[in-house]
């Protein structure tokens, strides 16, 4: 079968690699344009472009498919199926109608739960113990198409969005490679989603990372994990942003809300609305990431300070 793969982020890479070794013909890989990044605004390729180049795939970069020429070029590839994973571009009807076997999308949740752009962080914030991935047919309405197959993935207490993304990326690739032959053989009947059971996620902003100490320690612990590696959970100390990379919830009530407390044995925490959030790794604005003991040694006034809620 002739496959066109569409993806951009790290999540899409295991699927790209799996398809490249699946025996099908990868006629093209579509990804987002290079973009400036970092303080120096150096041009950065998408992870999919970097890996596709190493695999010897033909790479096309598009901002969207509003240009009729781009749609015509895609049609001229005569593809049998489109495989879409974390592409970041909405496909218009003119594109969806091209392949005979449709457009299959990999979505890292057990749809219809967590439709939208941030299903992985949403599952961690909600305290779910299990999430998963879905192979679905793309329809006009985002993440609402019928489902071909799903696979469950357990969420460990140590999982962050980064680690859970890696697990879901591989699970998605494995599931797709298993499903494709059945789909081409017409031995799978897509199951419609129940819209009444749908939940939705929103795009994260940098400001979403600010921690509200009125929440419980468990809720804040989930947010620290969900917001890693971006936007990173943070608070403010001494007029600067203090990023919190690792923490643990403790069921204690020791002091005033937002107070930094000494837990003994070098441990430090912050009093929350319910329990204490024990800090493990932090980074003060303009400094390097460090363990909390090292940070306290360099900032003697930290213990006993009151962090903003």
CA distance to 112, 142, 143, 146, per residue, from 195 (Å): 7, 12, 10, 11
Task: Record the tokens describing residue 239, joined without a space.
Answer: 């007029």
DSSP 80-110: SEEEEES--SPPPHHHHTS-TT-EEEEESSS
The structure's pTM equals: 0.95
The architecture of the domain spanning 2-197 is 3-Layer(aba) Sandwich (3.40)
> Which position has the token pair 């357990």?
154
pLDDT tens-digit profile, the chain (309 residues): 999 999 999 999 999 999 999 999 999 999 999 987 766 667 889 999 999 999 999 999 999 999 999 999 999 999 999 999 999 999 999 999 999 999 999 999 999 999 999 999 999 999 999 999 999 999 988 899 999 999 999 999 999 999 999 999 999 999 999 999 999 999 999 999 999 999 999 999 999 999 999 999 999 999 999 999 999 999 999 999 999 999 999 998 888 999 999 999 999 999 999 999 999 999 999 999 999 999 999 999 999 999 998
Q: Which one from 8, 143, 159, 172 is the annotated catalytic residue?
A: 143
The question of whether 207 is a catalytic residue gets the answer no
Structural element, H or E, at residue 169: helix 161-184
d(CA 81, CA 85): 13
pLDDT at residue number 7: 97
CA distance to 231, 282, 283, 305, per residue, from 286 (Å): 16, 12, 8, 20
Q: Where in the chain is the domain with CATH 3.10.25.10?
A: 206-298
Which residue, among 215, 239, 246, 245, has the nearest Cα to 301 in the 3D structure? 239
pLDDT at residue number 157: 97
d(CA 298, CA 287): 11
Which residue, among 14, 60, 6, has the nearest Cα to 173 in the 3D structure? 14
Q: Which one from 8, 86, 105, 109 is the annotated catalytic residue?
A: 105
Q: Which one from 107, 109, 121, 159 is the annotated catalytic residue?
A: 107
Q: List Cβ neighbours of 110 (8 Å cut-off, separation of 6 or more).
A: 130, 131, 132, 133, 134, 150, 152
Q: Which one from 86, 109, 134, 172 is the annotated catalytic residue?
A: 134
The question of whether 134 is a catalytic residue gets the answer yes
The question of whether 172 is a catalytic residue gets the answer no
The question of whether 143 is a catalytic residue gets the answer yes
Strands 25-31 and 59-61: parallel
Angle at 229 between CA 223 and CA 233, to 5 degrees: 35
Is the domain covering 206-298 a CATH 3.10.25.10 domain? yes
Q: Where in the chain is the domain with CATH 3.40.50.170?
A: 2-197
């Amino acid at each position: 079968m002739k496959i066109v793969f569409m993806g951009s982020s790290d999540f899409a890479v295991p699927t790209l690699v799996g398809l490249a070794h699946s025996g099908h013909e990868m006629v093209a890989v579509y990804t987002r344009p290079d973009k400036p990044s970092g303080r120096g605004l150096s041009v950065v390729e998408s992870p999919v472009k970097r890996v596709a180049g190493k695999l010897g795939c033909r790479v096309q970069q598009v901002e969207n498919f509003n240009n009729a020429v781009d749609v015509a070029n895609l049609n001229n590839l005569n593809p049998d199926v489109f495989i879409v994973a974390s592409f970041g571009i909405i496909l218009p009807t003119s594109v969806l109608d091209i392949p005979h076997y449709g457009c299959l999308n990999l979505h890292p949740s057990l749809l219809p739960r967590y439709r939208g752009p941030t299903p992985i962080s949403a599952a961690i914030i909600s305290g779910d113990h299990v999430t998963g991935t879905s192979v679905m047919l793309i329809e006009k309405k985002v993440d609402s198409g019928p489902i071909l197959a799903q696979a469950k993935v357990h969420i460990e207490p140590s999982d962050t969005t980064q680690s859970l993304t890696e697990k879901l990326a591989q699970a998605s690739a494995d599931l797709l490679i298993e499903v494709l032959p059945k789909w081409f053989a017409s031995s799978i009947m897509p199951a419609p989603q129940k819209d009444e059971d749908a939940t939705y996620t929103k795009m994260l902003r940098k400001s979403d990372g600010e921690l509200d100490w009125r929440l419980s320690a468990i809720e804040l612990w989930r947010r620290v994990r969900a917001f890693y590696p971006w936007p990173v959970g943070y608070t403010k100390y001494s007029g600067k942003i203090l990023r919190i990379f690792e923490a643990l919830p403790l069921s204690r009530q020791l002091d005033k809300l937002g107070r930094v407390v000494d837990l003994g044995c070098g441990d430090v925490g912050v009093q929350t609305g319910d329990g204490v959030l024990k800090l493990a790794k932090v980074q003060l604005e303009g400094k390097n990431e460090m363990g909390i003991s090292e940070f306290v040694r360099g900032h003697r006034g930290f213990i006993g300070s009151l962090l903003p809620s």
